[in-house]
Amino acid sequence: MPAGSEIGKFLAGVKAEAKQALLAGLKNAALQAKKQAAQKATAAGAKAAKSGVRFAKAIPVIGTFVTAVFWLKDMGDRGVIGGTANSGMDMIPLFGTAKIVSEWYTGVDIIECKDPNE
């Protein structure tokens, strides 16, 4: 059909509308995909954060358990009172960590070990 005829004009209009609808559909599909990707990323971040929170909650429990295991060794090295005091300080979550790190860094124990020759 010639472009100037009525049918040609109608077909050109239908093609233009179809092209606009296709572009609008693609744009909507792209926006939907972007929204779904953002939702998946948010869900993955929330899941990772939840795992991190669980691990963070377990750290004091793990530290206390490890300190309790070494309590007998401390009692053997420092005596009953000194070993219990040393292990008790080590079980305090932040203070114990700072104490252990400072003892390791300086090489000096806060509660000295008893003399093995006694």
Quick one: DSSP state of residue 117?
Answer: T
Over residues 78-113, the pLDDT tens digits come to 888 988 898 888 878 788 888 888 988 898 888 887
Tell me the average pLDDT across 23-27: 77
77 versus 50: the higher-pLDDT residue is 77
The CA distance from 106 to 39, in Å, is 50
Q: Any idea where the domains of the chain sit in the sequence? A: 1-56, 70-118
Over residues 38-67, the pLDDT tens digits come to 777 777 776 766 666 666 677 777 777 777
Contact residues for 78 (Cβ-Cβ < 8 A; gap 6+): 85, 86, 111, 112, 113, 114
Place 118 in a pLDDT band, splitting at 50, 70 and 90.
low
Beta carbons of 38 and 31 less than 8 angstroms apart = no
Place 3 in a pLDDT band, splitting at 50, 70 and 90.
low
Number of alpha helices (DSSP H) and beta strands (DSSP E) in the chain: 3, 0
The CA distance from 82 to 67, in Å, is 14
